[in-house]
Amino acid sequence: MTLDADWAERWIRRTADAVADRRDELTALDREIGDGDHGENLVRGFRAVVAKLDARRSEADGSVGSPRLVGDVLKLTATTLMSTVGGASGPLYGTAFLRAAKVTGHEAIDTRTIVAMLESALDGITARGKAEPGEKTMVDAWTPAVEAAERAAGEGDEADALRAAAAAADAGATATIPLVATKGRASYLGERSAGHEDPGARSTALLLAAAVSALDE
Ligand code: ADP
Ligand code: MG
Ligand code: MG
């Protein structure tokens, strides 16, 4: 198993498919505690990334041996999300992918690098949004994902780390239901935000599930 640029590209393409498939659900969640645009925001953003990946692919046809790195795919994703997603999630996911891109360097993606990528993504989200765990945001999916990846990395390979991260993000998203939001738009609702899953935590779970799905060609 090699986590190379092809894997990274499959990851982003499958995220685009996942958010398109689950757009109505993400929108419905955001309608409960936000402004109802989270599904639309992510579909637009990841569609734009896929269009750039397609364009880059057709340019690359014929050019021999052009270097393709995981970091390049993630950086393209970051800058495109930042420029196409208007909502809070655009800069947050954009920063996450930008930080993740930086730690991939030119090395092969091994278990340690996957964990570092996830940690860096979370650091970027926290630097940007200043949310702590328990504030009913995407941080509540990313935090357990990073912890689970760190644990799994002690015993397994990079695929095990990714699978552990995705499972923990899924559970983390579900666990946002009873929380009261204190960051982002949902915080305007105060106590009334309790009883609904955070849309960004759910989309984080979809994103990490797509990273696992991308392990298979
Ligand atoms: P907007 O709220 O601007 O309409 P989206 O609907 O696309 O943007 O994204 C909303 C999601 O962004 C929330 O569900 C939450 O997970 C996440 N979010 C909002 N503010 C923050 C923050 N300060 N830190 C982390 N995540 C945040
Ligand atoms: Mg919204
Ligand atoms: Mg909005």
pLDDT single digits (tens) 17-76: 999 999 999 999 999 999 999 999 999 999 999 999 999 988 876 565 555 889 999 999
104 vs 148, residue with greater confidence = 148
The rounded distance, in Å, linking the Cα atoms of 217 and 200 is: 27
Q: Other C-beta atoms within 10 Å of 64: how many?
A: 5
Residue 86 forms part of a structural domain: yes
Residue 48 forms part of a structural domain: yes
Report which ligand 1 atom has the smallest distance to the Cα of 204: 16
The rounded distance, in Å, linking the Cα atoms of 76 and 98 is: 9
Q: What is the pLDDT of residues 126-172, one digit of tens each?
A: 999 999 999 999 999 999 999 999 999 999 999 999 999 999 999 99
Residue 207 in contact with ligand 1 by CB distance below 6 A:
no
Residue 217 forms part of a structural domain: no
What pLDDT, on a 0 to 100 scale, did the predictor assign at position 107? Answer: 64
User: DSSP states of 122-180 as a string?
Assistant: HHHHHHHH---TTSSSTHHHHHHHHHHHHHHHHHS-HHHHHHHHHHHHHHHHHTTTTPP
- Measured in Å, residue 56 CA sits from the centre of ligand 2 at 30
Residue 119 forms part of a structural domain: yes
Q: What is the pLDDT of residues 65-79, one digit of tens each?
A: 555 889 999 999 999
Residue 196 forms part of a structural domain: yes
10 vs 1, residue with greater confidence = 10
Q: What is the pLDDT of residues 184-203, one digit of tens each?
A: 999 999 999 999 999 999 99
Q: Structure tokens of 7? A: 């894997």
Residue 105 forms part of a structural domain: yes
In terms of Cβ atoms closer than 10 Å to its own Cβ (0-12, 13-18, 19+), residue 47 is middle
Residue whose CA is at the smallest distance from ligand 1 atom 21: 184
Can you give the CATH number for the domain in which 53 is found? 1.25.40.340
Residue 44 in contact with ligand 1 by CB distance below 6 A:
no
What pLDDT, on a 0 to 100 scale, did the predictor assign at position 109? Answer: 84
Please report the ipTM that was assigned to this predicted complex.
Answer: 0.99
Q: What residue type is assigned to position 96 of the chain? A: A
What residue numbers bound the domain in which 173 lies?
Answer: 5-212
Q: What is the pTM of this model?
A: 0.96
Domains held by the chain: number:
1
- Measured in Å, residue 36 CA sits from the centre of ligand 2 at 5
For the ranges 12-16, 107-111, 124-128, 210-214, which has the lowest average pLDDT?
107-111
Residue 129 in contact with ligand 1 by CB distance below 6 A:
yes
